[in-house]
Amino acid sequence: MALKSARLEIYIYSGTAGSYTSSDLKYTLDKDRITSQSNIIFEIGNLVRDYITHDFNNDYASVTKWVTVVKRLFDSTTSLEFTSGSPVTTNFLALDGFGTFEDEINPQLSTNALISADNIYLPENTAGKLPIFAEGVGKVVIDSSTTQITDSGNSNQKIQYITIPANTNTIQVFDTDDTTVKKTITVNNVCEPKYTSFKVTFVNKFGAYEDLYFFKKTTETFTVSDETHKTNSIDVSTVTYPTYKGQQQRYNVNAITNLQMNTGFIKEDATKTIEELFLSENVFIRFDSKTLPIIPRSKSFVHKTSLNDKLINYTVDFEFAFNLINNVR
């Protein structure tokens, strides 16, 4: 028997692995083998991503999905499904992360602390959140306090957000053996008496919500858009026109609010966090006691180093992801 074609049934759902039903079938893909090749390759990442949505409201939910793939192989002679080795059912846990080119194809990202940098910055007397991957972590030690991590298998707790108490100094994330330290994180508590600090939360490369505070000067502006048309202001009965009526009428007026924000001085290691912020498709700010969506407007990034720049501060331009005048319909 020779391989002729393959069929892929893709189930996407929440809950525990294998708990899918027929209603969770999202895609059925059929593909023939190319004559010169011995295998059939399916790329399903973007298809799965369509079912992972981010509705962040300062609530730090575990945004993951189980994906069950049922693979069926068909014979080139009879076009019937193979009686041995088919079907094959495989379960995957999907996170909305990404790998870089250097990570190569289908990289295995972090299975412990879900942040890249070894330094995080919090305002003094302010608690924070640390995202971890529950499957790969046994415990988290924050200063001298230990939190044991349990994994129920449910997708709603695969990413867990450990509370970082105010004025913490050091965090250690341990492997499931509870003895091997997988990551050590230094917490920098920043005293900023002059400027208002703003918390920006974004989906990082691991598919987790990560906080980044901007401690220094923030400038708020807005950019107006409009259209005009020429009007006829003549009163035909008197063949005159009032001078208080113009010839140009403005319409479709709206505006986008912009923010220019500064991180304050950070260590070179924290540049990784800024890079992932620039690459994130889902960014939010805590502004006027609300969680609001924003978009990074800065499109170029200069990697700063302590050697070249001495003190490192990043200035980032954002715009709110909505119009100033409410035209939601």
State the pLDDT at residue 205. 96
What distance in Å separates the CA atoms of residue 114 and residue 120, rounded to the nearest whole number? 12
Q: What percent of the chain has pLDDT over 90?
A: 80
Q: In the predicted model, is pLDDT for residue 1 greater than 70?
A: no
Q: Kindly report, residue by residue over 190-209, the tens digit of the pLDDT.
A: 999 999 999 999 999 999 99
Q: In the predicted model, is pLDDT for residue 82 greater than 80?
A: no
91 touches 9 (CB < 8 A): no
Mean pLDDT in residue range 215-220: 96
Identify the band that residue 263 occupies on the pLDDT scale cut at 50, 70 and 90: very high
* Count of other CB atoms within 10 angstroms of residue 46: 7
How many residues can be counted in the chain?
Answer: 329
317 touches 290 (CB < 8 A): no
Q: In the predicted model, is pLDDT for residue 294 greater than 90?
A: yes
Please give the backbone phi and psi of residue 107, each rounded to the nearest 5 degrees, phi first. -70, 150
Q: Which residues contact 248 (CB under 8 A, 6 or more apart)?
A: 228, 229, 230, 231
State the pLDDT at residue 313. 95
State the pLDDT at residue 50. 96
Please give the backbone phi and psi of residue 258, each rounded to the nearest 5 degrees, phi first. -115, 145
Q: In the predicted model, is pLDDT for residue 4 greater than 90?
A: no
Q: Kindly report, residue by residue over 124-151, the tens digit of the pLDDT.
A: 999 999 999 999 999 999 998 999 999 9
Residue ranges covered by each domain of the chain: 3-96, 119-220+255-320
* Helical segments of the chain, H only: 45-49, 271-279, 306-309
List residues bridging with 279 in a β-sheet. none
* Count of other CB atoms within 10 angstroms of residue 204: 26
Q: Kindly report, residue by residue over 226-249, the tens digit of the pLDDT.
A: 999 999 889 888 999 988 888 899
- 301's tokens: 């990034």
Q: In the predicted model, is pLDDT for residue 218 greater than 70?
A: yes
Mean pLDDT in residue range 58-77: 93
Q: What percent of the chain has pLDDT over 70?
A: 99
What distance in Å separates the CA atoms of residue 96 and residue 50, rounded to the nearest whole number? 10
> Which of 64, 63, 85, 65 lies closest to 74, judged by CA?
85
State the pLDDT at residue 290. 96
Per-residue 3-state assignment (H helix, E strand, C coil) for 230-299: ECCCCECCCCECCCCCCCEEEEEEEEEEEEEEECCCECHHHHHHHHHHHHCCCEEEEECCEEEEEEECCC
Q: In the predicted model, is pLDDT for residue 106 greater than 90?
A: no
* Count of other CB atoms within 10 angstroms of residue 156: 13
Q: In the predicted model, is pLDDT for residue 177 greater than 90?
A: yes
The residue ranking higher by pLDDT, 74 or 76, is 74
pLDDT, the chain, mean: 93
State the pLDDT at residue 310. 87
